[in-house]
Structure 1
Amino acid sequence: MRTSNDGLLAQLRHPPGGRDARLMLAAQGLDRTGTGMWWAASVLYFTYVAHLDARQVGLLLGVAAIAGVAGSPIAGWLAERRSVRRLLIACHLLRLAAMLLLLVCHGFGELLPLVALTSLGDRAAKTLEMLFATRVAGQQRAVYQALFRTIANAGYAVGAGIAAIGIAIGTVGAYQALILVNGLSYVGAALLIRRTGPEAGQTTARAAAAEQTGPNPWRDRGYLLFVLLDVVMNLDDGVLNVGLPLWLIHRTHAPHALVPAFLVINTVMVVLLQMRFSGWAGTPRRAATAVALNGATMLACCLVIAFGTGGGAWTAALAMVLAAMLTTVAELLRSVSSWELAVSLAPEQARASYLGVAGMSQSIEKAAGPLLLTGAVFAAGPAGWLALGAVLTGVGALQRGACLRRLTALRAAAAEPVTAPQEAAVPAN
């Protein structure tokens, strides 16, 4: 364990990308701390401070998720034309403005556009961070992704801990203080990003030229298939955050106090194992294999839930803990493979716009995943979990095959001499 921790600390001191990467990782950690704090307190804030009923809170969060879907492609399109660094600072300032306005806006009609704007800025920022890392870390982007996820999970945990203090106090002033601290996290992140070198986030000349000649991701059926299948593979997020807690509460005899342990298990495993998983799946072909393993792991998780949670309290509790561990393994596999494949399958000269489209997969899953789990899977009981596991296994195998074929085609296209104008848009990988 000491060797693993020493390696992590060494990577944090000297991440791929040098000083710019170090500043960006610090900014991301600060941002995720504030975000974790707001996530933990937002529903209670809307309920007890803004005085919204359950239906209004659900609609508010649903609209926010839909707005977030648009954030990724908008950010990708803009990043082909403007500096990623400046766009990312603008996103943080946009989120800051929305947070501050929450302090003076309380009605449903006033809160709706603010929450939607915050979600749009959040998803846009995540896409821009991916682009920044792709340009700065280069071929070592898998290592950067592992460092980021380690820092992000630690930030979410710290943020949730801070939120717990405010929630325990329970006054309007305490909730408003949480909003202000979250806003300060955006300010701090923007200031750190501003210290990065301008060239780190600049639009390259090749990308600028691609505005007119580069391929369009919305017309690339192969890449759109990858994004569509990636939406399904992101369901491990919904299973961990929605499926397992609700199933434990409503369908098992396990103690309800076990629900917070799911987040603890997830956080600890990601911090300890993300570097190892990223090191193994750091190439495009291994990333494609990781997708198939993700599906198989989720099948194992669904089998545990279907057959292991119908007994007594202790049996159900052990089964739910094992399911949380398997879901986290699937997340570790998916997190590195999804990003690596999104980059590797995209034409280099239009990578920003392609990654903007790829970033939609997580947003769509967050909007539709909970509805699928609570509506279809829960309604069918254990059989619903078995069906979900079978679907995820099949989609994982399909995604692996589709990605390997595209990687082979891209490699073959790169080896061919450019002899016709229409071949100018073929990516070099």
Structure 2
Amino acid sequence: MTVLSDPRTPRPGRPAAASHVRWLGFGAAVDSLGTGLSTVVVLLYFVRIVGFDVVSVTVAMSVGAVLGLLTPIPVGRLADRVGLVGVYVGALCLRGVGFLGYALVDDYAWFFGITVLLMGLETTTSSLQQSLVAGLLDEAGRVRAMSLISAVRNAAIGAGTLLGGLALATDSRLVDASLLAVNGLSFFVFAAVVARLGRRLDDEGKRTPDPGSADPGSVDEGSAEPGSVDAVSAEPGSAGPAGTTNAPPVLRNLRFLALVGANGLLFLHDSVLNELLPLWMVTAIGLSPVVMSVLLVVNTALSVGLQVLFGRMNGLVSRTRELLWASVVLLVVFCALCVAVGRMPTGPAVAVCALAVVLLTIAENIHSVVSWEVSFAWAPEARRSEYMAAFSMGYGLQRVVGPVFLIGVVLARGDLGWLVLGAVFALAGSGFGALSRRAKVSNSPA
């Protein structure tokens, strides 16, 4: 893949690019620490201390989850039209106000309104962050930056969750409300970081020439292998090369929407980890909840290590096809191991479950790298935030549908359910690979 850029544009490893990543990492750490603090508090705080019933709280969260599926594209389109940084800062500040409101509210109507607002905004900020990374860094540095930021986020969320759990033991309204307020303040810190980086984004945008004015001869038409995920082709309705303004609105790009759906199916690994595995290990396999918790800690620690590793590796974006199939194969093998575990005594079952969790962890982190790179490749500069937001909807949709499918089909059907899940991963990977072959569009005449 060829990058058309001004020699003056910062490259990965240069001081300006490294500074951008450091600032994003700092902001993400503060933000995620606050998120970890509040995640374990919210439900118990409003049910046990404020006194709302569980059903009412769940209804508010369900409505917010549905709104969260609908908001990313309009917000992304707004960011493309009026400015990414202003919209991103505004969304972060609104989330901060929402959590400060959580710390004070004791009326259900206010709780319902704030919850719907927060969950509607939550799904927008991750895609806005990715758009900001795309604007600040060149092609080679984007995935590395996302990996490092993800590592920082996971570590900070883990630390915040631990501290939040300790705070819950005090059974104090003041302590719990303070944690919610701290999370609110963390969003304002991150908003200040984004605003600072936004000034640099504007400066670099002024230095970067219009890609449409680049010499067509500078495009390396043979740099991608035919049939690879990175292959270059041109066809009507494709996203278009970065910088073009003729890209269709995302809802009219059917190939891209199909890619979003395939990516969402691959992201079922997230619901497998968070919803299916804990239930399956304890109820179907009979493992101790302590063993299950230890294996989930292994997942978190290994994820952080892999993300740091990926963040320091060069050339990941040139091996997207191989990474995709490595992820799919690992997911299928994971499902096969889960079938085998049901036929083992407890000791070997624990060992195979540990191996399965390790394979799932490697697969999910490799898939994240592939997902970031393909979304960067598809998003035309003129509609970058809109396309990034739509791409994130695959993850959001599986968060709504995934638990129902995994618990109602995979857990309920035992071995057959795991085989069905393995087939879903294989088919989704095949579809994702076929669709993403046209992720890049050549600047040369068709």
- Confirm or deny: 8 A CA contact 1:255 1:313 kept in the other structure: no
Q: Is the 8 A contact 2:80 2:382 kept in 1?
A: no
The question of whether the paired residues in 1 share the 8 Å contact of 2:25 and 2:152 is answered with: yes
* Number of corresponding residues: 401
Change (3 A) 1:368 1:137: same
Pairs within 5 Å for 1:223-302: 223-277=256-310, 279=313, 282-283=316-317, 286-302=319-335
2:174 aligns with 173
The 8 Å contact of residues 331 and 422 in structure 2, kept in 1 or not, is answered as yes
- Give CA deviations for 1:357-408 in whole Å, capped at 9, x if unaligned: 112112112122112111222221221111101111121122112212x146
1-side partners of 2:351 and 2:12: how far apart?
Answer: 35
Displacement of 1:83 in angstroms is: 2.5
Q: Separation in 2 of the partners of 1:182 and 1:109?
A: 22
More helix by share: 1
1:324 counterpart SS class: helix
Instruction: Identify which range, 194-203 or 84-93, moves more after superposition.
Output: 194-203
How far apart, in 2, do the equivalents of 1:261 and 1:118 lie?
A: 31
1:62/1:317 CA distance change after superposition, 3 Å: farther
Structure 2 residue aligned with 1:319: 352
- 338, 350, 355: which one pairs with 2:388? 355
Partners of 1:256 and 1:151 lie apart in 2 by 27
235-244 or 86-95, which deviates more: 86-95
> Aligned residue for 2:37?
37
Conserved 8 A contact 2:103-2:178:
no
Q: Tell me how far 1:12 sits from its aligned partner.
A: 11
Which residue of 2 is the match for residue 7 of structure 1?
Answer: none
How far apart are the structure 1 equivalents of 2:20 and 2:79? Answer: 18
CA distance in 2, matches of 1:326, 1:57: 35
Residue 281 of structure 1, CA deviation: 6.8
Which whole-Å deviations, capped at 9, do the CAs of 1:126-149 have from their partners, x for residues lacking one? 111100001111211011011111
Q: Distance in 1 between matches of 2:98 and 2:203?
A: 27
CA-to-partner distance for each residue in 1:99-147, whole Å, 9 max, x for gaps? 1222333454432221121122222111111000011112110110111
CA distance in 2, matches of 1:398, 1:294: 14
Structure 2 Cα separation of the partners of residues 217 and 231 of structure 1: 16
With 15-24 and 297-306 compared, the bigger mean Cα shift is at: 15-24
266-275 or 312-321, which deviates more = 312-321
Counterpart of 2:88 in structure 1: which amino acid?
A: L
Secondary structure of residue in 1 paired with 2:264: helix
Q: Matched residues in 1 for 2:15 and 2:120: separation?
A: 29
Q: Which residue of 2 aligns with 1:375?
A: 408
Q: 1:338/1:281 Cα in 2 relative to 1: closer, same or farther (>3 Å)? A: farther
Answer with 311-320 or 144-153: which moved more. Answer: 311-320
Q: Does 1:222 align with 2:223?
A: no
- What are the Cα deviations for residues 46-90 of structure 1, in whole angstroms up to 9, with x where unaligned? 321233444334333322222222332133111211232222221
Aligned counterparts of 2:315 and 2:108: Cα–Cα separation in 1: 45
Amino acid at match of 2:444: A
Task: Report deviation, 1:328.
Answer: 0.8
Contact 1:21–1:136 under 8 Å retained in 2: no
Is the contact made by 1:83 and 1:201 (CA closer than 8 Å) also made in structure 2?
Answer: no
Question: In the aligned structure 1, how far is the partner of 2:15 from the partner of 2:426?
Answer: 34
Equivalent residue, structure 2, for 1:331: 364
Q: Deviations over 1:154-181 (max 9, x none)?
A: 1111111111121121222221121111
> Structure 1: which 5+ runs fail to align?
1-10, 418-429
Counterpart amino acid of 1:282?
A: L
SS in 1 for 2:197: coil
Equivalent residue for 1:191?
192
C-alpha contact 1:153 1:271 (8 A) present in aligned 2: yes
- Contact 1:30 1:189 survives alignment (8 Å): yes
Query: Take 1:265 and 1:327, find their aligned partners in 2: how far apart are those partners?
Result: 11
Q: Which amino acid aligns with 1:159?
A: G
Moved more, 106-115 or 240-249: 106-115
Q: Give the equivalent residue in structure 2 for 1:144.
A: 145
Which residue of structure 1 lines up, in the alignment, with residue 114 of structure 2?
A: 114
User: Which whole-Å CA distance do the structure 1 matches of 2:195 and 2:369 have between them?
Assistant: 27
1:89-104 equivalences in 2 (<5 Å): 89-104=89-104
- Which TM-score applies when normalising by structure 2? 0.82
- Which residue of structure 2 lines up, in the alignment, with residue 155 of structure 1? 156
Tell me, in whole angstroms, the C-alpha distance in 2 between the residues paired with 1:185 and 1:106.
Answer: 22
Secondary structure of 2:82 counterpart: coil
How far apart in 1 are the matches of 2:283 and 2:52? 25
Q: 1:380 to 1:172 in 2, by over 3 A?
A: same
Shift of 1:309: 3.8
CA contact (8 A) 2:88 2:128 kept: yes
Worse-matched range after superposition: 15-24 or 236-245:
15-24
Aligned to 1:415: 444
In structure 2, distance between residues paired with 1:211 and 1:95: 33
Indicate the residue corresponding to 1:4 in structure 2. none
| Counterpart contact for 1:253–1:311, Cα < 8 Å | no
Give the letter for the 1:185 counterpart: S
Identical aligned residues as a percent: 24
2:64 match: 64
Query: CA 1:288–1:211 in structure 2 vs 1: closer, same or farther (change >3 Å)?
Result: closer
Alignment TM-score, normalising by the size of structure 1:
0.85
User: Within 2, Cα distance between the matches of 1:201 and 1:232?
Assistant: 36
Distance 1:227 1:266 in 2: 26
Higher relative contact order (CA 8 A, sep 6+): 2
Question: Deviating runs (4+, > 6 A) in structure 1?
Answer: 11-16, 202-207
Task: Report if aligned partners of 2:299, 2:357 keep a CA contact under 8 Å in 1.
Answer: yes
C-alpha distance after superposition, 1:327-362 (max 9, x if no partner): 111111111111110110233332221112112112
